[in-house]
C-alpha cells in the first residue's frame, strides 16, 4: 500500500479560501458549544474558541471527520487518566489507559496521514462532565464509543478508495471493542444490547450530521462538514 500522504497528495485537493468563505454562511455549519459554555462559564477558562473548522471534501473530508472524532476521544481519555475517580479500581484505570493510548494512536495516525490537509487541533469542552465520579465517566465513555462506532459505520459508504475503507474498518472494530468493554463495566452483559443492536443483528450507523450534532456540546469550534460526500 502506498502512503496516505502520497495518495492524498496526488489525488485530493482541498478547496481554497473562497469556498470556505461561502460555507461559513451556509446552513450546514453546526454550532459549537455556545449555549453550554454560556451556562457553565468558568471564570478561569480561556476565551471560548469560535474558530470554524472545515473538514474538506471527498475522502480527505471523511478522514478529517474521523480525525476530529479521534481528537475528541483522545482528549476525553487523557482527562480521565489524569483524574481521581471515586469507585474506579486500579485495574479499570489501567484498561482506560489502554483505551487512551489507542485513541491517541488513532488521532496521531490521522494527523500524519492527512499531513498538510489535516484540520487543526480541536478545542474541546468537557465542563459538563464530572470526572470524579465513576458512573459519569463511564456513561460519557459509553456515549463516545457508541457514537464512534456508529460514525465509522455510517461513513464507510461515503469513502471512495478501498484502502481508506479498510483502514476505517481496522479502527471501527477496536472502537466496538472499547464500547463493549465500557458497557460491560457499567452493566455486565450490555456489550451489544438492544439499544445498539437491532433485530437484524445490526449495529447502528449515523450520518456525519447526526454525529456532529451529538458531539457539538463537547467541541468549542464550529465544525463545517458541508463538503463531505452524502
Which is closer to another protein, CB of 135 or CB of 163?
Answer: 163
Q: How many CB atoms are located within 10 Å of the residue 13 CB?
A: 13
Supply the angle between the helices 90-114 and 162-186 in degrees, to the nearest 10. 160
The reply to whether 24 sits near another protein by the rule CB under 8 A is: no
CA angle, residues 151, 154, 156, in degrees to nearest 5: 105
Grid coordinates belonging to 11? 489525488
Site string for another protein, 132-171 (x = CB under 8 A): -----------------x--xxx-xx-xxxxx-xxx-xxx
Grid coordinates belonging to 48? 471560548
Which is closer to another protein, CB of 6 or CB of 24?
Answer: 6
**Cβ of residue 165: shortest distance to another protein, in angstroms?**
5
**Cβ of residue 112: shortest distance to another protein, in angstroms?**
5
Between β-strands 222-224 and 52-54, what pairing exists: parallel, antiparallel or unpaired? parallel
Which is closer to another protein, CB of 2 or CB of 44?
Answer: 2
**Cβ of residue 47: shortest distance to another protein, in angstroms?**
27
Site size for another protein, by CB under 8 A?
59
**Cβ of residue 64: shortest distance to another protein, in angstroms?**
16
**Cβ of residue 185: shortest distance to another protein, in angstroms?**
9
The reply to whether 199 sits near another protein by the rule CB under 8 A is: yes
Collect all residues with Cβ–Cβ distance below 8 Å to 203 and sequence separation of at least 6.
149, 150, 153, 176, 192, 196, 197
Site string for another protein, 79-118 (x = CB under 8 A): ----------------x--x--xx-xxx-xx-xxx-----
Which is closer to another protein, CB of 46 or CB of 201?
Answer: 201
Burial of 229 (0-12, 13-18, 19+ CB in 10 A): middle
The reply to whether 181 sits near another protein by the rule CB under 8 A is: yes
Tell me the CA distances in angstroms from 136 to 72, 88, 116, 126, one per residue in order. Answer: 17, 11, 37, 12
3-state helix, strand, coil in the chain (%, to 5): 60, 5, 35
**To 10 degrees, the CA torsion angle through 151, 152, 154, 159?**
130
Interface with another protein by CB under 8 A: which residues? 1-4, 95, 98, 101-102, 104-106, 108-109, 111-113, 149, 152-154, 156-157, 159-163, 165-167, 169-181, 184, 188-189, 191-193, 196-197, 199-205, 230
Amino acid at each position: 500500500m502506498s502512503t496516505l500522504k502520497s495518495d492524498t497528495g496526488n489525488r485530493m485537493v482541498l478547496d481554497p479560501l473562497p469556498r470556505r468563505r461561502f460555507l461559513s454562511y451556509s446552513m450546514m455549519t453546526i454550532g459549537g458549544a455556545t449555549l453550554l459554555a454560556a451556562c457553565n462559564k468558568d471564570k478561569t477558562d480561556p476565551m471560548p474558541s469560535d474558530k470554524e473548522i472545515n473538514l474538506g471534501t471527498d475522502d480527505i473530508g471523511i478522514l478529517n471527520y474521523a480525525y476530529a472524532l479521534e481528537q475528541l476521544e483522545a482528549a476525553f481519555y487523557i482527562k480521565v487518566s489524569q483524574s481521581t475517580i471515586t469507585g474506579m479500581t486500579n485495574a479499570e484505570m489501567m484498561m482506560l489507559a489502554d483505551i487512551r493510548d489507542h485513541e491517541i494512536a488513532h488521532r496521531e495516525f490521522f494527523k500524519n496521514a492527512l499531513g498538510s490537509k489535516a484540520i487543526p487541533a480541536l478545542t474541546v469542552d468537557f465542563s459538563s462532565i464530572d470526572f470524579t465520579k465513576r458512573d459519569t465517566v463511564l456513561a460519557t465513555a459509553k456515549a463516545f464509543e457508541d457514537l464512534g462506532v456508529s460514525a465509522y459505520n455510517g461513513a464507510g459508504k461515503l469513502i471512495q478508495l478501498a484502502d481508506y475503507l479498510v483502514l476505517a474498518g481496522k479502527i471501527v472494530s477496536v472502537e466496538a471493542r472499547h464500547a463493549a468493554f465500557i458497557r460491560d463495566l457499567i452493566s455486565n452483559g450490555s456489550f451489544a444490547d438492544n439499544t445498539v443492536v437491532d433485530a437484524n443483528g445490526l449495529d447502528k450507523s449515523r450520518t456525519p450530521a447526526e454525529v456532529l450534532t451529538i458531539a457539538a456540546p463537547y467541541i468549542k469550534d464550529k465544525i463545517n462538514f458541508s463538503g463531505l460526500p452524502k
